[in-house]
Amino acid sequence: TAEFIHLRHDLAICTYEAAKIAQKSSSETSDVTDRFNAIATAKSISGASVSVSPSLSSSTASGTDITLTATVPTAGNYSLPFRIFGGVTLTAIVVVVRQST
């Protein structure tokens, strides 16, 4: 179960790091997903994904609330000998405000 908690924590870290990119005035959705994927890869997390709402572009107004919703399946991401958490999908949600330059 420690691995389950660790996976949940790592997902939160990936989402938070991507959110720091999302709040920058010049960032686009692809910048956010690239950052999320880079952190997930560095942490050896497989099958994780993030969605960004609203979609970001350089014209996204400052003050806009941006919601990142990340998910990861537990299957394939830990090696416990039993399947208490098998088939579970973890979710992390982070909301940030778009900043001006």
* CA 57 remoteness from chain centre: 18
Whether the ω angle into residue 54 lies within 30 degrees of 0, i.e. cis, is yes
| All structural domains of the chain with their residue ranges | 2-97
Is the predicted pLDDT of residue 81 greater than 60, yes or no?
no
Find the mean pLDDT for residues 43-51. Answer: 96
Can you tell me which residue has the tokens 């990340």? 70
Is the predicted pLDDT of residue 74 greater than 90, yes or no?
no
Find the mean pLDDT for residues 5-33. Answer: 96
Is pTM beyond 0.75 here? yes
* pLDDT value of residue 75: 82
Q: Are strands 49-53 and 65-73 parallel, antiparallel or unpaired?
A: antiparallel
